[in-house]
A = this chain, B = another copy of it.
């Protein structure tokens, strides 16, 4: 595989997921409702890594290769279903993320939010 992190776009990754599905003739199963459920299910499996782990303990996970590896794998599962959803609905995920980051920049201006949590919903 000649691809690496320095030149692989989200579109490249989406193509890989699409090819994987096409080769197995699995596109027919990829309806958006079940993909949304699948993203939820994988997100909960990621959360399970942190079940009964206190906040400060979780902050040490970056120094625990086994935990980091498990998180990496669960995160990949979440992402692969996100790519599947994007592929199914012809969503450009790169644009989606760039637009949302721009949106958040305006919503939370630096001068007003520097050092301050905004975490009230």
Contact = CB atoms under 8 A, between A and B. Distances in A.
A75 B96 contact: yes
A83 to B, nearest CB: 8
4 closest A-B pairs by beta carbon, nearest first, are A44-B44, A33-B58, A76-B100, A5-B94
Nearest to A33: B58
Q: Which interface class (under 10, 10 to 19, 20 to 34, 35 or more) fits A?
A: 35 or more
A114 B28 CA distance: 12
Interface in A33-65: 33-34, 36-41, 43-56, 58-59, 61-62
Q: Describe A's contact surface by its main secondary structure.
A: helix
Contact of A40 (B43, B91, B117): B43
Contact of A50 (B36, B76, B86): B36
B24 A108 contact: yes
Contact of A44 (B41, B56, B82, B115): B41
Contacts of A85: 71, 75
Contacts of A93: 75-76, 79
Contact of A80 (B1, B29, B101): B101
Contact of A48 (B23, B80, B99, B121): B121
